[in-house]
Amino acid sequence: MLIAVAAVLGVVAGTCTGYLVQADREPTGLPPLSQPVLAQSRGEAPEPLPAARDRRVRTDGDLRELLLEKPRGAREPGWPVGEDGWMELAEYAGYYEESGSMFGQLAMDEFRRAAVVGWLDDDGYSVEIRLVQFRQEETLAAADSVENGQYWAEDGEDTDSWAVPGTEEGRAYVHRSPDVEPGYEPLYGAEAHAWRGDIAMEVWVHGSKPVPKKMIMDLAERQMERL
């Protein structure tokens, strides 16, 4: 599980992006229950859900289509955002401090694929959104991934957080104190982590001034509405 290694691996997440802008059971032995054979119903089967309402159809399709669209007038980011909107396992693991160990952990947690979009808005904030999908044949890795992200978000000092409406334990965070690195201006950040089914959502915002709560909450809510 991802959270089991969170304290060891750490997560760099979107900070570097911002700086670039600036067993089957044994038989019980009990006899089988005796019951009459039931005749199969010959009534009409219910109509299948249309693709727009069938979540499995949507999430098994082009994951990039579920990402928020770039706002009109937004500029292209000054950092690489995957390859044609996709982020390979090695690239995603590279956002963690212990990227080599995280690569192996993600493989064990059945990482399937990740879709990503990013932009620079008119106020100078950089935005990056990632949808990370897991196969989840063995564990609820999407929920574990979100728990890991939240662990590190809450570890930061001077951080405020709020529940993301319509999600299961999803939260958004605003870091009031900036990151300071030699040669760079102070960098403020905000992030959101939530999951639905086999997909973990990550939203990262960075800028030279504090990120408004309304901004990170709006991004997180609208993105989760698309899943």
The pLDDT tens digits of the residues spanning 178-203 come to 999 998 899 999 999 999 999 999 99
The Cα 216–Cα 99 span in angstroms is 27
Asked, for residue 26, whether it belongs to a domain, the answer is no
Evaluated on CA atoms 84, 89, 92, 95, the torsion sign reads: negative
Asked, for residue 12, whether it belongs to a domain, the answer is no
| 3-class DSSP state of 183 | coil
Number of domains observed in the structure of the chain: 1
Question: Which residues contact residue 81 at a Cβ distance below 8 angstroms, ignoring those fewer than 6 apart?
Answer: 116, 117, 118, 128
The confidence score (pLDDT) of residue 215 equals: 98
Q: Are the C-beta atoms of residues 227 and 64 closer than 8 Å to each other? A: no
Asked, for residue 111, whether it belongs to a domain, the answer is yes
The Cα 36–Cα 49 span in angstroms is 33
Asked, for residue 39, whether it belongs to a domain, the answer is no
Asked, for residue 41, whether it belongs to a domain, the answer is no
Evaluated on CA atoms 97, 203, 130, 21, the torsion sign reads: negative
Q: Are the C-beta atoms of residues 151 and 119 closer than 8 Å to each other? A: no
Asked, for residue 174, whether it belongs to a domain, the answer is yes
Q: What are the tens digits of pLDDT across the range 133-172?
A: 999 988 899 999 999 999 999 998 899 999 999 998 999 9
The confidence score (pLDDT) of residue 139 equals: 86
Q: What are the tens digits of pLDDT across the range 207-227?
A: 999 999 999 999 999 999 999
The confidence score (pLDDT) of residue 147 equals: 96
The confidence score (pLDDT) of residue 131 equals: 98
Residue range(s) defining the domain that contains residue 86: 56-225
Residue 97: pLDDT over 90: no
Residue 60 sits in a domain of what CATH number? Answer: 3.40.1000
Asked, for residue 147, whether it belongs to a domain, the answer is yes
Asked, for residue 65, whether it belongs to a domain, the answer is yes
Tell me the backbone φ, ψ of residue 172, rounded to 5 degrees. Answer: -115, 145
The Cα 184–Cα 34 span in angstroms is 76
| pLDDT band, very low/low/confident/very high, at 24 (cuts 50, 70, 90) | very low
